[in-house]
Amino acid sequence: MNTRFHPISLSNLGPIAQLRAGRLPERLLRLLIGLWLYGVAIALMIEGALGASPWDVFHLGVSGHVPVSFGVVMILAALGVLLVWIPLRQMPGLGTLANTLLLGPFADLNLALIDTPQALPLRCLYLLGGVVVCAFATALYVGAQLGPGPRDGLMTGLARRTGWSIRRVRTIIEVSVLVIGVLLGGTAGIGTIVFAVGVGPVTQFFLRYLVVPLEMPVGELSREA
């Protein structure tokens, strides 16, 4: 058996290979911290009351029509997005499952903990903080390489298939989801625009530093490809 190792950057490994690719405790910690921080970012954007992120405009729009919490709507939407992974041949993993099931509850919890500030400068700070924290959180848990979340798997899958940059794909997705969310009755604002055009470049910046380099035997890598 060939035991030579091949370095991987942002990979598309199967769920078993993801768990066997080394540095698992560190990667699990990055995954959980990233998901929690993403919940913080969602709460900051919504409670800042200057416009939620495009996906959350969509979630808020849907939640106005169904008798469930914002977080439950997030879970249901994530399950729907996973269906789009099939033609993209995007590989799920533990991180995909964790994102699908934990991000909604984390968002609900942080929404309960964070109040809407009255002062406009603080609300602007919430907005900018939400964008930066979201980008950092995305890069942290995607970079853990345990399978991206449903929405970020859509992003990385399209980037891989089209050859476009993460920045370009993320921006296209965010703008498209925003339009759908507004049509469903979600409320957008200046913060939504800032997020839609800003989160892609900031996410790409953080990904340069937060992707955990993995090593897999060449033979196993070829089987997972």
What are the tens digits of pLDDT across the range 65-96? Answer: 899 999 999 999 999 888 888 888 777 788 88
| Residue 173: domain span | 7-220
Widest pairwise Cα distance in the chain = 65
Residue 29, CA atoms < 13 Å, CB-side half-sphere: 6
pLDDT over 90, % of the chain: 44
pLDDT tens, position by position, 131-161: 999 999 989 988 888 877 888 778 878 888 8
> Which has the closest alpha carbon to 117: 130, 108, 104, 126?
126
Residues 6 or more apart whose Cβ sits within 8 Å of residue 208: none
- Domain assignment present for residue 225? The answer is no
Q: What is the pLDDT of residue 221?
A: 43
Residue 77 covered by a domain: yes
Identify whether 86 is part of a domain. yes
Q: Quick check: is 141 in a domain?
A: yes
Q: Is residue 78 in a domain?
A: yes
- The Cα 26–Cα 169 span in angstroms is 28
Any domain includes 107: yes
Rounded CA-CA distance 165/222 in Å is 24
User: Does residue 2 sit within a domain?
Assistant: no
Band (21; pLDDT cuts 50, 70, 90): confident
At 8, the pLDDT band (50, 70, 90 cuts) reads very low
State how many domains the chain has.
Answer: 1
